[in-house]
């Protein structure tokens, strides 16, 4: 039996793609390769570990061949998988790509295959969380008129969530902070947006909330309360549709 | 476009600390000076029975002259305690209604707190809520204040402020007020995304009895007008100039209806000074041009069920003919909730027919997405829904001669008719079987609900379990699983011929 070579990579699309590039180039046979994220520290027997540094050039090559040989829809699945919170995502992408290079764009139809099915399910889960946050994000206005929102998503959805709000609020200065990853989308009015680590953020920007905030939140909570039909109360349904984990930063669910 | 003007010419306003009196000719309106939040609580309470808080049907990119965009899938922003989605700021412009519809909480003869917004208040509230991502846009309805024309005009002014002055690109759904000047309805249509006229009650007899001030003809007239408008103006856009203080259509300035006395009065009434200078205008340009389409998200309607004695078959037939004759996007149902005591209404202890409403929505889905005709779901002999089984399952059991179907061969339309296979799983099956022969484990992975579907399908010529394809046998086995049955029904495990049966059933309105 051959020893399994484990490529250990950074948790980013560049990191994962670089590891896939190296695994492919090794020509050891795909069954003898495995790709793992850095923070998965469990060590298995009969494996040797190889740490892979992200290499933009290699990652770019992988991106290009996915788009050309498997198609844009497949690239989107892979991208969403890379943003997901699954520990096995790097290897899942690797396995999917092996099939993809074999079948071409048709691989997307192969839903009865476990590797493809996992990609499809994850795509659905991540895009669902993104979709929910397009509605559940709440901005607060600071006294300098900057709109600030905090979220705590399961998956790393900032890069796919931001374009929606950039299009919607192109003439506003706004920020969406991912509390669990300590990253933020920053959008200066009418300018290019970017994602920034909170450590690098100029904390002076985060002023006090504006005076009208309390009034607006109060008005909103009043509205949500009064629009409900008492005779049809159904808290279980409410919770199915808006699970508790989304409510942390939603003012209508704050008890006074 | 012809300018639209009211004939009133003189007015007086007297303001005291608690009240504002506005006299126009012989009419006097007394208004309590209320805070914004108080008004909001009254006028959202008054709007809660309006269904269809959906923001779907139109895709619109944002731009730098204004604020907002629209996504055709619709976006839910929160859920109220009744589990319904909140997507839009759903309010009445006013609940000071001159009509006396028996079932309505805002009827003239009820002693409830009354309030009226100003166009500016609605506009500012919408923009401020929208900036904080509380909402996807505005859903504006109204009681009839003074006259249908007057009411429609207030709605029009609000839309002019939002769309043209503020460059608001979010979603707007408004009610067309039956009896209002067609020119006003037309103008509103160019600014709104969706319009709806409430059918109120399924039949004209019901309407005559319970809504003495309304009639069927008046309701269907604007509905027809909007339908014809959508057809006629398809692909057409008109350009309007907007920005602070500048308002025009097709290069010509809009003859503002705000010049008229009563409206001026209304604009001045009860404006909270803190709303005078909305921050939202700070970053905007002073002048911009925008193109508009006529009611791009289409038309919908709603009716109250359970206040009048129609059968489910009648309701479904009305629905189906509305889709066919008026090209409606959606028909919504509102389970009657007894709020008024009246000898013409069901008694006050009547339970709201939530299960019936749920079954109607299921049937409505079958009409729109599953290729069913109303007559296949219900008919003269079986005019009521089965309480225990959803309409699709019910249909399948009455047509067992068409089953089982072979999943690897059946066409898409037939797959859709299998209980336990929905639109998504049918699509997945059609895709996946191009690559491999499917078995039951594969179907499970693809989201087919096998505990329902397995009676009706074969994979590779084999059924999942050895079962009899026989109505009673399948019903008995299905009900034993007790899946998704409403609570009071969980005790029932034999099949009964069913009558109207109402209960607190879980329900949802899809967007």
A contacts of B61 (beta carbons < 8 Å): 167
Of B66-80, B163-177, B358-372, B474-488, which gets the smallest average pLDDT?
Answer: B474-488
- Domain map of chain A by residue range? 4-128, 133-253
* Cβ–Cβ below 8 Å for A111 and B442: yes
CB interface of A with B, residues 226-245, below 8 Å: 226-238, 240-242
* Cβ–Cβ below 8 Å for A190 and B64: yes
Tell me the β-bridge partners of B171. B137
Question: pLDDT exceeding 90 applies to what percent of chain B?
Answer: 63
Alpha helices in B115-165 (DSSP H): 119-131, 148-159
pLDDT at B484 > cutoff 90: no
3-class secondary structure per residue, A190-225: CCCCEEEEHHHCCHHHCCCECCHHHHHHHHHHHHHH
* Planar angle of CA B460, B464, B465, nearest 5 degrees: 135
- CA dist B357 and B352 (Å) reads 9
* Region B468-492 average pLDDT: 69
Q: Is A135 on the interface with B (CB under 8 A)?
A: yes
* Cβ–Cβ below 8 Å for A227 and B45: yes
* Cβ–Cβ below 8 Å for B506 and A224: no
- CA distances in angstroms from B162 to B76, B119, B243, listed in the order given: 21, 9, 10
Name the residue of chain A whose CA is nearest to B44's CA: A227
Tell me the pairing of strands B85-86 and B78-79. antiparallel
Tell me the β-bridge partners of A150. A177
Of A47-56, A111-120, B50-59, B353-362, which gets the smallest average pLDDT?
Answer: B50-59
**Token pair in block for residue A75:** 């690239």
pLDDT of res. B335 = 93
- CA dist B63 and B108 (Å) reads 43
Phi-psi region of B304 (alpha: psi -120 to 50; beta: other; left: phi over 0): beta
* Region A21-35 average pLDDT: 94
pLDDT of res. A2 = 74
- CA dist A205 and B506 (Å) reads 46
Q: Which residue has 């329900």 as its token pair?
A: B507
pLDDT at B279 > cutoff 60: no
pLDDT digits (tens, 9 = 90+) for A172-217: 999 999 999 999 999 999 999 999 999 988 888 888 888 889 999 9
**Cβ distance B113 to B62 under 8 Å?**
no
B contacts of A169 (beta carbons < 8 Å): 62, 67-68, 131
Q: Which residue has 């009900």 as its token pair?
A: B479
Q: How far is B279 from chain A (nearest CA, A)?
A: 8
pLDDT at B8 > cutoff 80: no
**Token pair in block for residue B106:** 């805002």
**Cβ distance A123 to A79 under 8 Å?**
no
* Region A69-75 average pLDDT: 96
**Cβ distance B441 to B454 under 8 Å?**
no
**Cβ distance B407 to B438 under 8 Å?**
yes
Confidence grade of residue B479 (pLDDT, cut at 50, 70, 90):
confident
- CA distances in angstroms from B320 to B127, B316, B353, B363, B365, listed in the order given: 37, 6, 21, 10, 11
Of A157-161, B126-130, B271-275, B463-467, which gets the smallest average pLDDT?
Answer: B271-275
In which order are the strands placed within the sheet that holds B238-242? Answer: B252-253, B248-249, B238-242, B288-292
CB atoms within 10 A of CB A48: 8
* Cβ–Cβ below 8 Å for B78 and A136: yes
pLDDT digits (tens, 9 = 90+) for B397-414: 999 999 999 999 999 999
Residue scoring higher pLDDT (B70 or B24): B70
> What do you get for the CA distance between the two ends of chain B, in Å?
34
* Cβ–Cβ below 8 Å for B44 and A223: yes
pLDDT of res. B20 = 66
Q: How far is A250 from chain B (nearest CA, A)?
A: 9
* Cβ–Cβ below 8 Å for B132 and A135: no
**CB-side neighbour CA atoms (13 Å) of B369:** 14
**Cβ distance A177 to A133 under 8 Å?**
no
pLDDT at B127 > cutoff 50: yes
Integer-rounded Cα radius of gyration of chain B: 26
Tell me the β-bridge partners of A174. A147, A187
B contacts of A139 (beta carbons < 8 Å): 131-133
**Token pair in block for residue B401:** 């001669």
* Cβ–Cβ below 8 Å for A167 and B62: yes
* Planar angle of CA B57, B63, B69, nearest 5 degrees: 25
**Cβ distance B295 to B172 under 8 Å?**
no
A contacts of B50 (beta carbons < 8 Å): none
* Region B98-104 average pLDDT: 93
Helix or strand (DSSP H, E) at A158: helix A158-168
pLDDT of res. B68 = 93
Query: Which letter does DSSP use for residue A242 in this model?
Result: S
**Considering CB atoms only, which of B78, B432, B436 is closest to A242?**
B78
Give me chain A's average pLDDT, please.
Answer: 94
Name the residue of chain B whose CA is nearest to A145's CA: B279
Q: How far is A62 from chain B (nearest CA, A)?
A: 25
* Cβ–Cβ below 8 Å for B80 and A241: no
**Token pair in block for residue A153:** 């998503």
* Cβ–Cβ below 8 Å for B83 and A145: no
Name the residue of chain A whose CA is nearest to B75's CA: A135
CB atoms within 10 A of CB B40: 24
pLDDT of res. B265 = 34
Q: Is A246 on the interface with B (CB under 8 A)?
A: no
Confidence grade of residue A43 (pLDDT, cut at 50, 70, 90):
confident
Q: Is A256 on the interface with B (CB under 8 A)?
A: no
**Cβ distance A127 to A150 under 8 Å?**
no
Name the residue of chain B whose CA is nearest to A171's CA: B64
pLDDT of res. B278 = 35
- CA dist B271 and B410 (Å) reads 64
**Token pair in block for residue B370:** 């599953």
B contacts of A137 (beta carbons < 8 Å): 133
B contacts of A232 (beta carbons < 8 Å): 82-84, 335, 337, 352, 354
Q: Which of A102, A227, A236 to mutate to test the interface with B (most CBs of B within 10 A)?
A: A227
B contacts of A118 (beta carbons < 8 Å): none
Of A104-118, B204-218, B224-238, B267-281, which gets the smallest average pLDDT?
Answer: B267-281
CB interface of A with B, residues 8-47, below 8 Å: none
In which order are the strands placed within the sheet that holds B137-141? Answer: B88-92, B137-141, B171-175, B194-196, B299-305, B330-335
Query: Which letter does DSSP use for residue B70 in this model?
Result: B
Q: Which of A171, A236, A243, A251 to mutate to test the interface with B (most CBs of B within 10 A)?
A: A171
Q: Is A169 on the interface with B (CB under 8 A)?
A: yes
- CA dist A253 and A238 (Å) reads 12
Phi-psi region of B482 (alpha: psi -120 to 50; beta: other; left: phi over 0): left
pLDDT at B487 > cutoff 50: no
A contacts of B83 (beta carbons < 8 Å): 232, 234-238, 240-241
**Backbone CA torsion sign across B421, B422, B426, B428:** negative
CB atoms within 10 A of CB B492: 13
B500 three-class SS: coil
pLDDT at A100 > cutoff 80: yes
- CA dist B336 and B385 (Å) reads 17
- CA distances in angstroms from B322 to A221, B325, B328, listed in the order given: 36, 5, 7
Q: Which of B62, B68, B69, B79 to mutate to test the interface with A (most CBs of A within 10 A)?
A: B79
* Cβ–Cβ below 8 Å for A109 and B432: yes
B contacts of A218 (beta carbons < 8 Å): 37
Residue scoring higher pLDDT (B351 or B19): B351
- CA dist B67 and B81 (Å) reads 30
* Cβ–Cβ below 8 Å for B69 and A167: yes
Residue scoring higher pLDDT (A66 or B489): A66
Q: Which residue has 């090209």 as its token pair?
A: B327
- CA dist A2 and A21 (Å) reads 20
pLDDT at B511 > cutoff 80: no
pLDDT at B245 > cutoff 90: no
Q: Is A61 on the interface with B (CB under 8 A)?
A: no
**Cβ distance A32 to A72 under 8 Å?**
no
**Cβ distance B218 to B207 under 8 Å?**
no
**Cβ distance B268 to B280 under 8 Å?**
no
B contacts of A220 (beta carbons < 8 Å): 129, 132, 134
Contacts of A29 (CB under 8 A, 6+ apart): A2
* Cβ–Cβ below 8 Å for B132 and A220: yes
């Amino acid at each position: 039996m051959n020893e399994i070579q484990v490529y250990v990579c950074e948790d980013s699309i560049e990191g994962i793609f670089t590891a896939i590039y190296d695994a492919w180039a090794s020509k050891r046979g795909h069954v003898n390769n495995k790709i793992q994220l850095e923070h998965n520290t469990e060590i298995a027997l009969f494996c040797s570990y190889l740490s892979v540094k992200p290499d933009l050039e290699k990652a770019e090559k992988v991106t290009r061949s996915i788009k050309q040989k498997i198609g844009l829809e497949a690239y989107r699945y892979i991208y969403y998988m890379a943003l997901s919170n699954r520990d096995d995502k790097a290897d899942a992408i690797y396995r999917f790509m092996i099939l993809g290079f074999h079948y071409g764009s048709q691989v997307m139809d192969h839903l009865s295959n476990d590797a493809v099915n996992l990609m499809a399910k994850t795509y659905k889960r991540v895009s669902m969380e993104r979709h929910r946050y397009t509605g559940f994000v709440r901005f607060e206005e600071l006294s300098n008129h900057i709109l600030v929102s905090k979220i705590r998503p399961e998956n790393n959805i900032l890069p796919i969530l931001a374009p929606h709000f950039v299009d919607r609020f192109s003439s506003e200065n706004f920020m969406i902070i991912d509390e669990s990853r300590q990253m933020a989308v920053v959008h200066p009015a009418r300018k290019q947006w970017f994602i920034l680590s909170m450590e690098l953020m100029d904390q002076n920007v985060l002023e006090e909330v504006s005076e009208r905030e309390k009034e607006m939140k109060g008005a909103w909570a009043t509205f949500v309360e009064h629009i409900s039909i008492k005779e049809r109360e159904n808290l279980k349904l409410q919770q199915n549709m808006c699970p508790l984990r989304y409510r942390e930063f939603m003012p209508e669910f704050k008890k006074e | 476009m012809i300018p639209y003007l009211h004939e009133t010419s003189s007015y007086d306003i007297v303001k005291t600390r608690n009240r504002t009196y506005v006299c126009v000719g012989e009419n006097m309106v007394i208004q309590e000076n209320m805070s914004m939040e108080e008004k909001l609580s009254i006028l959202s309470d008054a709007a809660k029975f309006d269904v269809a808080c959906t923001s779907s049907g139109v895709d619109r990119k944002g731009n730098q002259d204004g604020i907002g965009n629209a996504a055709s899938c619709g976006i839910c922003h929160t859920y109220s305690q009744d589990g319904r989605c909140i997507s839009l700021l759903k309010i009445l412009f006013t609940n000071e209604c001159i009509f006396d519809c028996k079932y309505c909480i805002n009827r003239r003869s009820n002693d409830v707190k009354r309030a009226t917004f100003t166009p500016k208040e609605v506009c500012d509230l919408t923009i401020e809520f929208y900036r904080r991502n509380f909402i996807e846009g505005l859903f504006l309805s109204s009681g009839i204040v003074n006259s249908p024309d007057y009411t429609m005009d207030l709605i029009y002014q609000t839309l002019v402020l939002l769309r043209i002055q503020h460059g608001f690109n979010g979603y707007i759904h408004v009610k067309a007020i039956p009896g209002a000047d067609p020119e006003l309805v037309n103008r509103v249509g160019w600014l709104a995304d969706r319009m709806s006229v409430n059918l109120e009650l399924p039949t004209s007899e019901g309407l005559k009895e319970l809504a003495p001030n309304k009639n069927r003809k008046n309701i269907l007239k604007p509905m027809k007008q909007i339908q014809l408008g959508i057809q006629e103006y398809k692909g057409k856009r008109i350009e309007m100039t907007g920005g602070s203080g500048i308002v025009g259509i097709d290069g010509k300035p809009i003859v503002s209806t705000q010049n008229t006395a009563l409206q001026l009065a209304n604009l001045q009434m009860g404006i909270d000074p803190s709303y005078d200078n909305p921050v939202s205008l700070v970053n905007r340009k002073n002048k911009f041009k925008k193109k508009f389409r006529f009611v791009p998200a289409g038309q919908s309607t709603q009716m109250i069920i359970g206040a009048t004695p129609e059968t489910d078959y009648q309701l479904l037939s009305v629905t189906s003919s509305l889709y066919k004759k008026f090209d409606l996007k959606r028909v919504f149902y509102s389970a009657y909730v007894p709020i008024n005591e009246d000898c013409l209404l069901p008694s006050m202890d009547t339970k709201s027919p939530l299960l019936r409403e749920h079954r109607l929505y299921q049937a409505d889905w079958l009409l729109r997405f599953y290729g069913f005709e109303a007559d296949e779901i219900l008919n003269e002999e079986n005019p009521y829904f089965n309480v225990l089984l959803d309409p699709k399952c019910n249909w399948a059991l009455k047509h067992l001669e068409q089953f089982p179907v072979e999943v690897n061969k059946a066409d898409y339309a037939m797959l859709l008719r299998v209980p336990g296979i929905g639109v998504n799983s049918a699509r997945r099956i059609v895709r996946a079987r191009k690559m491999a022969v499917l078995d039951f484990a594969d179907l499970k992975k693809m989201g087919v609900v096998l505990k329902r579907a397995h009676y009706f399908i074969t994979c590779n010529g084999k059924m999942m379990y050895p079962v009899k394809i026989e109505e009673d046998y399948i019903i008995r086995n299905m009900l034993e699983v007790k899946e998704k049955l409403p609570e009071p029904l969980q005790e029932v495990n034999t099949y009964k011929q069913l009558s109207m049966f109402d209960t607190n059933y879980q329900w949802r309105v899809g967007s």
